[in-house]
């Protein structure tokens, strides 16, 4: 199993639109995530979002975020989040600090 965590910052006052967009997630995005067995949860704290997701593999995760609908979604989300000079949402990967249970991946020895 592959897991990932990341954080990003919303532009001031954009949380209600961000929340609504995810409450009404586009069917094509739902289909892409489900087809790739992606499980995801996003938590909100002040102007910060924390995403945690799992998938059978990193390839599954990457496939779920490819194609025209994913590109449109990314462009839309960039209007709500802090962006870099190219207009892409600034996403910071989180280092795993601890894992237990199904999230613990044993290193091969």
Active-site choice (22, 43, 46, 65): 22
22 catalytically annotated: yes
> What are phi and psi for residue 61, nearest 5 degrees?
-60, -45
User: Does the CA dihedral 67-69-72-78 come out positive or negative?
Assistant: negative
Identify the DSSP state of 89: B
Q: Would you please indicate which residues are annotated as catalytic (active-site) residues?
A: 22
């Amino acid at each position: 199993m592959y897991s990932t965590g990341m954080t990003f910052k919303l532009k001031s006052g954009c949380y209600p639109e961000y929340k609504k967009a995810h409450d009404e997630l586009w069917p094509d995005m739902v289909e892409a995530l489900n087809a790739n067995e992606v499980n995801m949860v996003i938590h909100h704290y002040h102007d910060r979002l924390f995403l945690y997701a799992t998938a059978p593999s990193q390839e599954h995760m990457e496939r779920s975020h490819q194609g025209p609908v994913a590109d449109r979604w990314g462009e839309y989300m960039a209007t709500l989040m802090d962006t870099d000079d190219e207009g892409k949402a600034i996403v910071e990967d989180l280092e795993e600090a601890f894992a237990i249970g199904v999230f613990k991946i044993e290193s091969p020895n």
